Amino acid sequence: MAFFDFVKDIFGGDSKATEVKYPSWYSDPNFDSTQEFLKTYSQDLLTKGPNDYFAPIGEYGTPEFLNFINATNSQTLTGVDEALARAGRGRGGRSGEIAADVLGERNAALAYQDYIRAMKGRQDLLGIGINTQADVRDAAFKNQGAKNDFNVQGSVFDFMKGAYSDAFDDKQFERGWSFLGDIGSTVGGGIGFAAGGPAGAAMGSQMGGSAFGGGSGSSSNQWLDIISATKKPVSESSTTTPGVSNIGKIGGTDADMIMKILASLN
Residue range 7-43, pLDDT digits in tens: 555 555 566 667 778 788 888 889 999 999 999 999 9
Q: What is the mean predicted confidence (pLDDT) over 96-123? A: 90
What one-character DSSP code corresponds to residue 79? H
Q: What is the pLDDT of residue 239?
A: 46
* Higher-confidence position of 3 and 244: 3
CA-CA-CA-CA dihedral for 205, 206, 208, 213, to nearest 10: 130
Q: What is the mean predicted confidence (pLDDT) over 46-61? A: 92
> How much is the pTM?
0.51
Q: What is the pLDDT of residue 202?
A: 59
Residues 188 and 201 sit within 8 Å (Cβ to Cβ): no
Q: What is the pLDDT of residue 156?
A: 86
Q: Give buried/exposed letters for 52-65 (b at 16+ CB in 10 A, else e).
A: eeeebbbbbeeeeb
Per domain, the residue ranges of the chain are 29-169, 182-264
* First CA to last CA distance, the chain: 18
* E strand intervals along the chain: none
On the question of pLDDT at 246 being above 60, the answer is no
Residue range 155-212, pLDDT digits in tens: 888 888 777 777 777 776 676 666 666 666 666 556 555 555 555 555 555 555 555 5
- Would you tell me how many other CB atoms lie within 10 Å of the CB of residue 184? 27
Q: What is the pLDDT of residue 249?
A: 45
**How remote is the C-alpha of 241 from its chain's centroid?**
71
